């Protein structure tokens, strides 16, 4: 599912954020947008998201919303986005439930029974693939599929999965995110539930969701994207998923990733572009250029002094962060940068 013509070049070991003379919404035909931390937080739209997405869409960019949450159906996600002021149809939503349902359907016969440990989104996705969801290990399932089932998921559901897996039934998981954001804070995600079954059975599931290839394949099949840009806030799912799929990525700083994590990013976690929020889709991205032994962006120059990163100049905080990324990633090479960036990040308010 490779694509051609990505402006960012998607180098395998990125040592600095890329620049773009054109607005990203003009350089890419499709944005594959994460939801939590990118479009909304706690169910409410993030600042500038509604207006930025409307402008990108009116300019001809296809917007698709890609989520590892297998609980809600595409219809439910589309309705939520539309209520927020982001007109969305079910076909614009791609879930890990859809990705894992396709993965299962490629390995079992049409009409086969599949034991579901999860919510309605998973059942709908399985039926879409011509498979029959069942509730018990005694229903003779040919596969077990586990996805996020929400806080009301009964403990006995894990037992049913264990009984079936112990009989040799193959096990699939929509995703393995250990946590999921909620309006009250961080809650256990599907990955935590998968660990319960893993510990009890000693088995390993086949996993479909971000950052693994089945999820990227699902998004490309459903969107028809030729020049896709992944837009996310998490290094270990969104950005690594883009890396694994061979496409470019934009990290926005409205979610879980902070400056320190970004500077210490491994090669597969280094985004093509970095911006403060979704307004970054609507503009070009500044070049990060070598200046002496350091790197400059906007009015900032970043370099190394002893075992610490230093930053001189002034300007937009995100430009300073881009310059720091170049220094840190170059120092880290194909590993992790160990330089101290605490003081300079504090100066930027990051």
Residues marked active site are found at: 34, 36
- DSSP helix, strand, coil percent of the chain (3-state; round to 5): 35, 20, 40
Task: Give the integer Cα–Cα distance in Å for 212 and 180.
Answer: 18
β-pair type (44-45, 40-41): antiparallel
């Amino acid at each position: 599912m490779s694509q051609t013509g990505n402006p960012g070049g998607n180098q395998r070991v990125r040592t600095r954020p890329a620049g773009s003379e054109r607005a990203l919404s003009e350089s890419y035909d499709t944005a594959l947008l994460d939801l939590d931390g990118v479009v909304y937080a706690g169910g409410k739209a993030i600042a500038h998201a509604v207006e930025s997405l409307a402008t990108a869409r009116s300019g001809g960019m296809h917007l698709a919303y890609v989520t590892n949450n297998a609980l809600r159906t595409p219809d439910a996600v589309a309705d939520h986005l539309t209520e927020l002021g982001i007109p969305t149809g079910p076909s614009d939503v791609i879930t890990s439930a859809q990705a894992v349902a396709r993965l299962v359907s490629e390995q079992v016969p049409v009409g086969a029974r599949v034991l579901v440990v999860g919510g309605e989104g998973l059942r709908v996705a399985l039926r879409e693939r011509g498979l029959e969801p069942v509730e018990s290990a005694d229903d003779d399932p040919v596969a077990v599929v586990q996805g996020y089932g929400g806080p009301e998921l009964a403990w006995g559901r894990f037992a049913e999965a264990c009984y079936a897996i112990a009989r040799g039934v193959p096990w699939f998981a929509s995703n393995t995110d250990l946590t999921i954001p909620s309006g009250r804070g961080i809650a256990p995600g599907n990955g935590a539930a998968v660990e319960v079954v893993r510990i009890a059975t000693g088995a390993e599931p086949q996993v479909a969701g971000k950052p693994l290839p089945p999820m990227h394949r699902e998004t490309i099949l459903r969107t028809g994207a030729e020049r896709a840009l992944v837009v996310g806030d998490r290094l270990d799912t969104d950005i690594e998923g883009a890396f694994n799929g061979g496409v470019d990525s934009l990290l926005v700083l409205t979610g879980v990733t902070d400056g320190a994590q970004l500077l210490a990013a491994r090669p597969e976690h280094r985004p093509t572009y970095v911006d403060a929020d979704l307004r970054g889709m609507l503009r070009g991205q500044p070049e990060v250029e070598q200046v002496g032994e350091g790197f400059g962006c906007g009015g900032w120059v970043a370099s190394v002094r002893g075992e610490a990163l230093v930053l001189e100049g002034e300007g937009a905080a995100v430009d300073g962060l881009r310059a720091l990324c170049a220094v840190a990633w170059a120092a880290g090479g194909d590993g992790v940068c160990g330089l101290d960036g605490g003081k300079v990040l504090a100066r930027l308010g990051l």
